[in-house]
Amino acid sequence: MVSEAQFPRRAAAGTRKIDWAPYRAGVGIGILSWLVFAIVDDPIGITTALSADAGYVAMAFFGADAVAQNSYWKAFPPALGYGALFLVGVILGGMAAAVAGGRFRIEAVPGIWRARFGASIAKRLSGALLGGLFVMYGARLAGGCTSGHTISGGLQLALSSWIFTVVIFAVGIATARVLYGKGN
């Protein structure tokens, strides 16, 4: 079992920083999920909202008629609503958690990436963009992302979400081992 002692506070002398121990964070995510279901009657999820927002961006380039005829956006029409607010909240909440935990820093090339692939910012951004595109495409094929399946679907005991969660962790571990080696 993981104890909170394995996640020490990283605070400067005389300052108190918030410790984001996994069990506390898990309870917080569970409570947030209940609140979201109760208030907006919608599950927590990122990729559906991002896809709906992308429909609006696509309209500027291809026109509303082209987007309306697209088979994907027929099934998931562009909409600005709770999902867009959730996306902004995830970004701001992540930043607030990093600041509160004393871990916020702007870093174009993380140390683990630099040690394995070098200090090229272009290479790092290309890798991040390519990885993000693969994850987004895969998430839409699976009908949801890690937050949609693992958190929302898992809370609803959906078998497909539990299978997704096992697969995403297995693939994530395998990918990390290939990219960074066994020790990292």
The pTM for the full model equals: 0.68
Q: What is the pLDDT of residues 113-132, one digit of tens each?
A: 898 899 999 999 999 999 88
H/E segment holding residue 172? helix 159-180
> Among residues of the chain, what percentage have pLDDT more than 70?
90
The domain ranges of the chain are 17-105, 109-184
